[in-house]
Amino acid sequence: MRFIVEMCTDLRAKILKTSGELFFKFGIRSVSIDDICNELHISKKTFYTVFKQKDELIVELLDAMRQKKEKDYQLVLAPSVNVLDLLMQSFKTLRQHSMEKHLAFGFDLEKFYPELWHERQVMLKEMDLKYMAQMLRTGIEQGMYREDLNIDATSVLLANLIPNVLKDLMQVSMNTAQRVDFVLDMIVRMICNEKGLEYYQCTIL
């Protein structure tokens, strides 16, 4: 019995991983249960032993994404981590992903699953605000960020600015890397003190 449970758990994880990759690549609406099964080389009957329908899969996928983001935040907010390195690494990760694909996932979620989309937006904003505030406090303590920053106001600004500006910049003739670098540079010059700016400029050279 334990072996069967472990097999089901492992299959569930594989389905979540594969479906997530397909949803982000092609959009939620364009990916069918057949597509997921074909990618995993399993039958639809096997799929339905784990998930009753696509909607259930999407709900669990969103929850798995939430848990991963919470775990990532906990790892990167360790006191020993240089927050400016962390900020630059976060944007480096963004440079390596297609904004168009991520937006397609969000557009489909908003259009076809509006309640789930709204819940996710509220959850992400709460997490981002908490993370931004901690990141700013740590940056000030490490002597990299301006001491006169209003942490609450700046957290709200950054949490809203980053996704919205990146999205709006898609209308400008810039590739993903250029858009991400532009936003990073704008944020660094807004929150860093002289020491932080000097460190940033030396690091990106």
- Interval 165-191 mean pLDDT: 88
pLDDT tens digits, 25-41: 889 999 999 999 999 99
Residues 6+ apart with CB under 8 A from 149: 136, 140, 191
| Cα(195)–Cα(135) distance, integer angstroms | 17
**Topology of the domain comprising 77-204:** Tetracycline Repressor; domain 2 (1.10.357)
pLDDT value at residue 39:
96
Confidence of residue 2 (pLDDT cuts 50, 70, 90): very low
pLDDT value at residue 4:
34
162 vs 17 pLDDT, higher one? 17
pLDDT value at residue 18:
95
Calculate the alpha carbon distances from 193 to 12, 77, 156, 180, 189 in Å: 47, 20, 20, 21, 8
- Interval 63-86 mean pLDDT: 82
pLDDT value at residue 100:
59
Mean pLDDT of the chain: 87
pLDDT value at residue 102:
66
pLDDT tens digits, 43-57: 999 999 999 999 999
CB distance 91 to 180 below 8 Å:
yes
185 pLDDT exceeds 80? yes
Considering only 40-44, 76-80, 181-185, 196-200, which range has the smallest mean pLDDT? Answer: 76-80
76 pLDDT exceeds 80? no
pLDDT value at residue 90:
83
Q: What is the DSSP letter of 192?
A: B
pLDDT value at residue 99:
58
Work out the percent of the chain whose per-residue pLDDT is above 90: 53
pLDDT tens digits, 119-157: 988 888 888 898 899 999 999 999 999 999 999 999 999
**What tokens appear for 185 in the block?**
């540079």
pLDDT value at residue 107:
85
